[in-house]
Structures are given as structure tokens and as C-alpha cells.
């Protein structure tokens, strides 16, 4: 059986490469012109992998751009996005390998169209937590918060993106003008473009700290604002996010040109670097690809991207004061602890585990949602993450939270879930601060 399977896998690999070249040739002008991607007929499958050969098979699919890996779960599950043209070869390979699978979404394009209808219901110039908003409206809202609470908040830019958008942050503390020496808490979101709820939750935090929402927690926040200064960067990848809104809902990376398909620009150009593989933490070794079109392409060197450089520079400037680094992603409902590229436990493992336990308990006590408390490497090995870099720089409490859900909607979390996701993670945030 094994010999037959290996022969069959080799045969399928040739088919995928051939189809991939055809697809690249057929779409090269679309890639060059950045035309919109139509996901009509695409499906999302959840596949239960049994052995290393199965994992390698999926990796080869992703390398040849036959599938888009959306998420990897604990216990060997993987969610993959498959186009109509590749669906039958992929399904045949899954069945031949005798792997269990389920279809999470029969027609991704149809659900994206429904999401677009929701976006059109947004009122221009208004920001709230009933929808997902463009970068400019997020930034305008941050500025409005700072004007309304000028004694406790200010906005500033830590840099600009490749396409020239501000990397706008907000600093919040009681008696702000005299807060420069306070310990600092850093929170960021939106590093991966398609993870829309991640930056929206950070926006929710900013509103909560300033009493615009969660008024019942103001006594708690006032105490925290006396003690800390909070720096929140809701949108750390604005170019990618805007592209995910306008052209490709599943776009993950930045938007800087990164190379050519199959090292031949006749097949099309590649764009973007995975910013959460672009930090200098075991850079370029685990969970990455050398294919510049890959979703996990780390770039040619660490901090090659405007946004990762800006984050690095601001964090290093304030390193001695930062007591918590927290980065929000989606999806999977996980509390991720350092380190992501080695199975060796770090010296602060017990501290991390206690913090994670407090956070997931606070989440569960809000709406009953279960977030798992694990080390990043237990999900899958990765190099170059912001969390690991922050930890290696000496920020003991450096964590990532993967938000709702566990796959039904994935990156396309309905807007009706923004507020409950914000509430449960705000409780986790308070629990984390109590661990410092």
C-alpha cells in the first residue's frame, strides 16, 4: 500500500505542478494588474492528517499554489481553501491517503458576497462595532478618541507602510503628560491582513480604556491607567488589509513586490511578505517558504518590511518599560506562549503557563468560549514571529491570542461577533495585567 501511495503521490504531484503552471500562465496578467479574485465555487476543507507524509503532501500543495492553507489545528487538522480547478485532484489525493475530511464551506464566494453586503450597510464617516471599517475610518476614530479624552489619550504614527499609510497608534494613560516613565503595555492587531476581527478587538480595547464602552469596568481601568501607559497599534498591516477588502479577501501578507512566480516573471509577479515571519527570531528556518508567492514567505531578511521595522524601532526605544507584549490574530481560539521554533521550554515557562491559564479562564467565564492555553510550537513550528522576538528581547510576558472562531467562519467572522469577542478578550486582558 505504501509503495502504491508513494507512486500515486508522485503522479499527483506532477499533475499539481502542471496545473499550477497552467493556472499561473492563465492568470499572470491578473496578478500583474492586481485584479479582484473571484472565489465563486471555492471550497474550504478540514482534513485530519495522520502522519508526516500527509503533512508533506499538504505542504507541496501549498508550495505549488494548489491550495491555500487557512489554519492548522492541534491534533493534525488543517483547513485548506481549494479552487474549483484543483478540487477533484485534491479530493482524490485525500481519499487515496484514506484521510478523514469535512467540507466547512461549499461556496466561499457566496459567503464573501454576503459579507460585502454587510460592509455596504456601514454608515460613511461613522465607526462602531457593528461592522468592519476601512483603515481611514479606524484612524479617524482613534483621532476622535484622543480629542475627546485629550488628558488621557494621544495618537501618533510609528511609521508608514509601503503604500504610504500611517501606522497609527494610540497611547492611553491617566495624567498622560506625566506618564512617560510609567510601565508600558503594548497591544497590536491586524498583522495578517485577512484577520479582520484582530484589529477590531484592539479598537474595542481603546474604547474600553477610555470609557466609551464597558462603562461598568471603569473603576478597574482607572486603576490600571494610574499604573500603566497603554500603547495600542490596532492596524499593523494597513496595505494588506485594504487589499483584502478590495481585491482578495484571503490576502495575508504585506503588499510590497517580493519576486516572480517560479522565478520567471512571465508567469506573474509575487507580492507581499508574511510580517509574522519577518521578525528576527530564528528568522527563515521554520514554518516558512522560499517561494515569494507563498503566504508564509518571510522575505530575504528580517525586518525587510516597513511595518515590522517600525514596530521593532518603537519597541526597542521603549524596551525597558514594556511589561506586556500582546498580539491579536485569528482564528482558532488559542492563547499562544513562547517559543514557536523549538520544543525546548523557555526558562519562563511556568510564568507563561500561569498567565495563559488566567487568560483562558477569564474568557471561559464570560460566554463559555474555550480557548486553549498552549505554546506556539505545539500548534506548528514557526520562526520569525513578533511574539518570539519580543520575548527574546526581554519582554517576559509576550503572547499571541488567536480569536474566534474555530473554523465555521474562520477569517470571515460575522460582525455580530465583534462585541462578544471584544468583551471576553478584554476580561482576558485584565487577567493578564493582574499576572504582571
Tens-digit pLDDT profile for residues 220-273? 999 999 999 999 999 999 999 999 999 999 999 999 999 988 788 887 889 999
Query: Active-site positions?
Result: 402
Indicate the angle between helix axes 238-246 and 196-209, nearest 10 degrees: 120
Cα–Cα–Cα angle for 46, 52, 58, rounded to 5 degrees? 45
Cα dihedral 132→137→138→140 (10° resolution): -160
The percentage of the chain sitting over the pLDDT mark of 70, rounded to a whole number, equals 92
- Report whether pLDDT(7) > 80: no
Per residue, the 3-state secondary structure of 5-20, as one string, reads: HHHHHHHHHHHHHHHH
Mean pLDDT (the chain, rounded):
91
For the chain, how are helix, strand and coil distributed in percent, rounded to 5?
Answer: 45, 20, 35
- The pLDDT, as a whole number, for residue 52 is 87
3-state secondary structure of 79: strand
- Distance set, CA 194 to CA 151, 216, 240, 250, 375 (Å): 34, 32, 8, 5, 23
Convert the pLDDT of each residue in 70-85 to its tens digit.
998 877 899 999 999 9
- The pLDDT, as a whole number, for residue 35 is 67
Choice among 9-13, 131-135, 300-304, 422-426 with the minimum mean pLDDT: 9-13
Banded model confidence at residue 34, pLDDT cuts 50, 70, 90: low
Prediction pTM value: 0.92
Could you give phi then psi for residue 314, rounded to 5 degrees? -70, -45
Banded model confidence at residue 112, pLDDT cuts 50, 70, 90: very high
- The pLDDT, as a whole number, for residue 32 is 39
The x, y and z cell numbers of residue 179, run together, are 506618564
The x, y and z cell numbers of residue 271, run together, are 507580492
> Mean pLDDT throughout 301-328?
98
Banded model confidence at residue 15, pLDDT cuts 50, 70, 90: very low
> Mean pLDDT throughout 360-364?
98
- Report whether pLDDT(287) > 90: yes
Determine the number of helices (DSSP H) and then strands (DSSP E) in the chain: 13, 14
- The pLDDT, as a whole number, for residue 202 is 98
Which residue shows C-alpha cell 469535512?
Answer: 102
Banded model confidence at residue 64, pLDDT cuts 50, 70, 90: confident
- The pLDDT, as a whole number, for residue 398 is 98
Convert the pLDDT of each residue in 329-354 to its tens digit.
999 999 999 999 999 999 999 999 99
> Mean pLDDT throughout 30-50?
81
Banded model confidence at residue 17, pLDDT cuts 50, 70, 90: very low
Amino acid at each position: 500500500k505504501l509503495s502504491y501511495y508513494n507512486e500515486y503521490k508522485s503522479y499527483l504531484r506532477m499533475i499539481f505542478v502542471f496545473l499550477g503552471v497552467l493556472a499561473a500562465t492563465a492568470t499572470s496578467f491578473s496578478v500583474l494588474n492586481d485584479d479582484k479574485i473571484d472565489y465563486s465555487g471555492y471550497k474550504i476543507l478540514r482534513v485530519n492528517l495522520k502522519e508526516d507524509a500527509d503533512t508533506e503532501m499538504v505542504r507541496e500543495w501549498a508550495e505549488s499554489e494548489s491550495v491555500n492553507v487557512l489554519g492548522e489545528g492541534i491534533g493534525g487538522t488543517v483547513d485548506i481553501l481549494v479552487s474549483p480547478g484543483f478540487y477533484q485532484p485534491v479530493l482524490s489525493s485525500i481519499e487515496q491517503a484514506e484521510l478523514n475530511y469535512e467540507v466547512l464551506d461549499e461556496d466561499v464566494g457566496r459567503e464573501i458576497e454576503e459579507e460585502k453586503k454587510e460592509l455596504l450597510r456601514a454608515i460613511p464617516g461613522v465607526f462602531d462595532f457593528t461592522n468592519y471599517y476601512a483603515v481611514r475610518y479606524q484612524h479617524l476614530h482613534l483621532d476622535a478618541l484622543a480629542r475627546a479624552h485629550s488628558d488621557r489619550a494621544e495618537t501618533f504614527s510609528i511609521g508608514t507602510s509601503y503604500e504610504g499609510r500611517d501606522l497609527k497608534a494610540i497611547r492611553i494613560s491617566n495624567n498622560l503628560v506625566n506618564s512617560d516613565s510609567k510601565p508600558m503595555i503594548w497591544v497590536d492587531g491586524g498583522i495578517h491582513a485577512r484577520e479582520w476581527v484582530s484589529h477590531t478587538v484592539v479598537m474595542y480595547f481603546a474604547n474600553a480604556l477610555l470609557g466609551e464602552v464597558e462603562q461598568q469596568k471603569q473603576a478597574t481601568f482607572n486603576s490600571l491607567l494610574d499604573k500603566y501607559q497603554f500603547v495600542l497599534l490596532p492596524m499593523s498591516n494597513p496595505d494588506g488589509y485594504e487589499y483584502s477588502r478590495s481585491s482578495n479577501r484571503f490576502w495575508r501578507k504585506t503588499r510590497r513586490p517580493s519576486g516572480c512566480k517560479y522565478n520567471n516573471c512571465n508567469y506573474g509577479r509575487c507580492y507581499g511578505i508574511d510580517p509574522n515571519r519577518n521578525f528576527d527570531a530564528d528568522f527563515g528556518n521554520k514554518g516558512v517558504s522560499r517561494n515569494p508567492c507563498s503566504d508564509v514567505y518571510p522575505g530575504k531578511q528580517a525586518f525587510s518590511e516597513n511595518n515590522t521595522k517600525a514596530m521593532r524601532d518603537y519597541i526597542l526605544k521603549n524596551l525597558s518599560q514594556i511589561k506586556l507584549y500582546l498580539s491579536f490574530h485569528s482564528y482558532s481560539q488559542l492563547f499562544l506562549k513562547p517559543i514557536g521554533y523549538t520544543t525546548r521550554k523557555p526558562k519562563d515557562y511556568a510564568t507563561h503557563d500561569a498567565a495563559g491559564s488566567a487568560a483562558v479562564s477569564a474568557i471561559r467565564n464570560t460566554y463559555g468560549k474555550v480557548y486553549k492555553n498552549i505554546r506556539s510550537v505545539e500548534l506548528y513550528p514557526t520562526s520569525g514571529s513578533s511574539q518570539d522576538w519580543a520575548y527574546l528581547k526581554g519582554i517576559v510576558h509576550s503572547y499571541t491570542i488567536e480569536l474566534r472562531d474555530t473554523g465555521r467562519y474562520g477569517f470571515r467572522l460575522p460582525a455580530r461577533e465583534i462585541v462578544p469577542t471584544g468583551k471576553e478578550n478584554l476580561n482576558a486582558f485584565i487577567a493578564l495585567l493582574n499576572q504582571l
